[in-house]
Protein backbone atom coordinates (compact mmCIF):
# COMPACT_ATOMS: atom_id res chain seq x y z
CA UNK A 1 0.00 0.00 0.00
CA UNK A 2 1.48 3.32 -1.10
CA UNK A 3 1.32 6.17 1.38
CA UNK A 4 0.95 9.79 0.27
CA UNK A 5 0.51 12.82 2.51
CA UNK A 6 0.44 10.65 5.64
CA UNK A 7 -2.31 8.27 4.48
CA UNK A 8 -2.85 5.50 1.94
CA UNK A 9 -2.92 6.99 -1.56
CA UNK A 10 -6.54 6.08 -2.30
CA UNK A 11 -7.89 7.82 0.77
CA UNK A 12 -7.40 11.40 -0.43
CA UNK A 13 -10.21 11.10 -2.97
CA UNK A 14 -12.24 8.94 -0.57
CA UNK A 15 -12.21 11.68 2.07
CA UNK A 16 -13.34 14.23 -0.51
CA UNK A 17 -16.15 11.90 -1.60
CA UNK A 18 -17.32 11.61 2.01
CA UNK A 19 -17.63 15.38 2.23
CA UNK A 20 -20.10 15.35 -0.69
CA UNK A 21 -22.73 13.79 1.56
CA UNK A 22 -23.80 11.28 -1.07
CA UNK A 23 -26.31 8.63 -0.10
CA UNK A 24 -24.11 5.63 -0.88
CA UNK A 25 -20.40 5.05 -1.30
CA UNK A 26 -18.78 2.02 -2.91
CA UNK A 27 -15.11 1.11 -3.11
CA UNK A 28 -14.20 -1.47 -5.71
CA UNK A 29 -10.94 -3.23 -4.88
CA UNK A 30 -9.36 -6.65 -4.47
CA UNK A 31 -10.71 -8.54 -1.47
CA UNK A 32 -7.19 -8.76 -0.03
CA UNK A 33 -6.28 -5.11 -0.68
CA UNK A 34 -4.66 -3.60 2.44
CA UNK A 35 -6.69 -0.40 1.97
CA UNK A 36 -10.04 -2.21 2.31
CA UNK A 37 -10.43 -1.60 6.09
CA UNK A 38 -9.76 2.11 5.59
CA UNK A 39 -12.58 2.40 3.06
CA UNK A 40 -14.90 0.45 5.34
CA UNK A 41 -14.04 2.76 8.25
CA UNK A 42 -15.08 5.74 6.09
CA UNK A 43 -18.49 4.14 5.45
CA UNK A 44 -17.82 2.73 1.99
CA UNK A 45 -19.39 -0.58 1.06
CA UNK A 46 -16.37 -2.51 -0.16
CA UNK A 47 -17.03 -4.64 -3.23
CA UNK A 48 -14.42 -7.19 -4.20
CA UNK A 49 -13.04 -7.22 -7.70
CA UNK A 50 -10.58 -10.08 -7.70
CA UNK A 51 -9.94 -9.76 -11.44
CA UNK A 52 -8.61 -6.19 -11.78
CA UNK A 53 -6.56 -7.24 -14.81
CA UNK A 54 -9.84 -7.30 -16.75
CA UNK A 55 -9.65 -3.50 -16.92
CA UNK A 56 -11.37 -0.43 -15.56
CA UNK A 57 -14.67 -1.34 -17.15
CA UNK A 58 -14.84 -4.53 -15.10
CA UNK A 59 -14.57 -2.49 -11.88
CA UNK A 60 -17.11 -0.03 -13.25
CA UNK A 61 -19.60 -2.89 -13.75
CA UNK A 62 -19.35 -3.72 -10.04
CA UNK A 63 -20.06 -0.09 -9.14
CA UNK A 64 -23.05 0.12 -11.49
CA UNK A 65 -24.56 -3.11 -10.19
CA UNK A 66 -24.18 -1.87 -6.61
CA UNK A 67 -25.71 1.50 -7.50
CA UNK A 68 -28.66 -0.21 -9.18
CA UNK A 69 -29.68 -1.59 -5.78
CA UNK A 70 -30.15 1.98 -4.51
CA UNK A 71 -32.48 4.85 -5.36
CA UNK A 72 -29.54 7.01 -6.48
CA UNK A 73 -30.18 9.28 -9.44
CA UNK A 74 -26.55 9.37 -10.59
CA UNK A 75 -23.23 7.58 -10.17
CA UNK A 76 -20.09 9.61 -9.53
CA UNK A 77 -17.07 7.65 -10.73
CA UNK A 78 -13.81 8.45 -8.95
CA UNK A 79 -10.41 6.81 -9.28
CA UNK A 80 -8.36 6.09 -6.17
CA UNK A 81 -5.14 7.02 -7.96
CA UNK A 82 -6.17 10.66 -8.48
CA UNK A 83 -5.22 12.24 -5.12
CA UNK A 84 -5.04 15.84 -6.34
CA UNK A 85 -8.69 16.31 -7.38
CA UNK A 86 -10.16 19.09 -5.24
CA UNK A 87 -13.41 19.21 -3.33
CA UNK A 88 -14.48 22.19 -5.46
CA UNK A 89 -13.98 20.19 -8.65
CA UNK A 90 -16.07 17.29 -7.36
CA UNK A 91 -18.84 19.66 -6.25
CA UNK A 92 -18.87 21.30 -9.70
CA UNK A 93 -19.32 17.92 -11.38
CA UNK A 94 -22.12 16.87 -9.03
CA UNK A 95 -23.83 20.27 -9.41
CA UNK A 96 -24.39 19.63 -13.12
CA UNK A 97 -26.95 16.98 -12.17
CA UNK A 98 -26.38 15.24 -15.49
CA UNK A 99 -23.71 13.63 -17.60
CA UNK A 100 -20.47 15.40 -16.69
CA UNK A 101 -16.77 14.65 -16.80
CA UNK A 102 -13.44 16.23 -16.04
CA UNK A 103 -11.11 17.70 -18.61
CA UNK A 104 -7.68 19.25 -18.56
CA UNK A 105 -8.47 20.93 -21.88
CA UNK A 106 -7.00 18.02 -23.83
CA UNK A 107 -8.67 14.83 -22.63
CA UNK A 108 -11.97 13.80 -21.07
CA UNK A 109 -11.60 11.71 -17.92
CA UNK A 110 -12.88 10.89 -14.46
CA UNK A 111 -14.12 12.06 -12.12
CA UNK A 112 -17.33 11.70 -14.08
CA UNK A 113 -21.03 11.72 -13.26
CA UNK A 114 -23.46 9.37 -14.99
CA UNK A 115 -27.23 9.81 -14.61
CA UNK A 116 -29.18 6.66 -13.85
CA UNK A 117 -30.58 6.33 -17.38
CA UNK A 118 -27.00 5.79 -18.63
CA UNK A 119 -26.20 2.92 -16.28
CA UNK A 120 -27.24 0.18 -18.74
CA UNK A 121 -24.75 1.64 -21.23
CA UNK A 122 -22.04 1.61 -18.56
CA UNK A 123 -22.52 -2.13 -18.28
CA UNK A 124 -21.50 -2.48 -21.95
CA UNK A 125 -18.12 -0.79 -21.40
CA UNK A 126 -15.08 -3.00 -21.88
CA UNK A 127 -11.34 -2.87 -21.27
CA UNK A 128 -9.26 -0.10 -19.76
CA UNK A 129 -10.94 2.80 -21.52
CA UNK A 130 -13.86 2.37 -19.12
CA UNK A 131 -16.77 4.58 -20.12
CA UNK A 132 -14.79 7.13 -22.12
CA UNK A 133 -16.89 6.47 -25.23
CA UNK A 134 -20.01 7.55 -23.30
CA UNK A 135 -18.56 10.93 -22.37
CA UNK A 136 -18.64 12.52 -25.84
CA UNK A 137 -21.73 14.56 -24.96
CA UNK A 138 -20.79 15.19 -21.33
CA UNK A 139 -20.66 18.62 -19.81
CA UNK A 140 -16.95 19.15 -19.25
CA UNK A 141 -15.66 20.59 -16.01
CA UNK A 142 -12.16 21.91 -16.48
CA UNK A 143 -9.30 21.50 -14.03
CA UNK A 144 -5.55 21.73 -14.38
CA UNK A 145 -3.58 18.77 -15.63
CA UNK A 146 -1.80 18.64 -12.26
CA UNK A 147 -5.14 18.37 -10.42
CA UNK A 148 -6.33 15.58 -12.71
CA UNK A 149 -3.01 13.71 -12.69
CA UNK A 150 -3.15 10.08 -11.70
CA UNK A 151 -0.52 8.07 -9.91
CA UNK A 152 0.09 4.82 -11.79
CA UNK A 153 3.47 4.02 -10.26
CA UNK A 154 5.34 5.26 -7.18
CA UNK A 155 7.66 7.29 -9.43
CA UNK A 156 4.61 9.42 -10.38
CA UNK A 157 4.36 10.78 -6.83
CA UNK A 158 5.72 14.28 -6.28
CA UNK A 159 9.10 14.34 -4.65
CA UNK A 160 9.28 15.96 -1.21
CA UNK A 161 10.90 19.37 -1.23
CA UNK A 162 14.21 19.56 0.56
CA UNK A 163 14.53 22.12 3.34
**All domains of the chain in start order, with CATH:** 3-151 (3.90.550.10)
First to last CA, the chain: 27
> What is the structure's pLDDT at 105?
94
Residue 10 pLDDT: 84
What are the backbone angles phi and psi of residue 106, rounded to the nearest 5°? -120, -40
User: Residue 48: its pLDDT value, please?
Assistant: 95
Q: What is the pLDDT of residue 128?
A: 76
Per-residue pLDDT tens digits of the chain, which is 163 residues long: 666 567 777 899 999 999 998 889 999 999 889 999 999 999 999 999 999 888 889 999 999 999 999 999 999 999 999 999 999 999 999 999 999 999 999 999 999 999 999 999 999 988 777 688 899 999 999 999 999 998 765 555 555 444 4
CB 131 within 8 A of CB 112: yes
Task: Look at residue 43 in the predicted model and tell me its pLDDT.
Answer: 94
Task: State the Cα–Cα distance between residues 132 and 142, nearest whole angstrom.
Answer: 16
Question: What DSSP line would sit under the chain, residue for residue?
Answer: --EETTEETTHHHHHHHHTTT-S--EEEE-TT-TTHHHHHHTTPEEEE-S-GGG-HHHHHHHHHHHHTTS--SEEEE--TT-TT--HHHHHHHHHH-SSEEEE-SS-EEEEEEEEGGGHHHHTT--GGGTTGGGGTTPEEEE--TTTT---SSGGGSPPPPP-
pLDDT of residue 87: 94
Q: In whole angstroms, what is the distance from residue 142 CA to residue 28 CA?
A: 26
> Residue 5: which residues within 8 A CB-CB, separation 6 or more?
12, 83
- pLDDT value at residue 52: 86
Question: Could you tell me if 78 and 59 are in contact, meaning their C-beta atoms sit under 8 angstroms apart?
Answer: no
pLDDT at position 3 is 63
Residue 18: predicted pLDDT = 92
Amino acid sequence: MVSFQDMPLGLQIAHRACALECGWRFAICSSDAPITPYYAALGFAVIANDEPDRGQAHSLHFAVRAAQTTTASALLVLLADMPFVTQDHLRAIVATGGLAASTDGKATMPPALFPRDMWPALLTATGDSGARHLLRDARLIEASASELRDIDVVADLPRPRSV
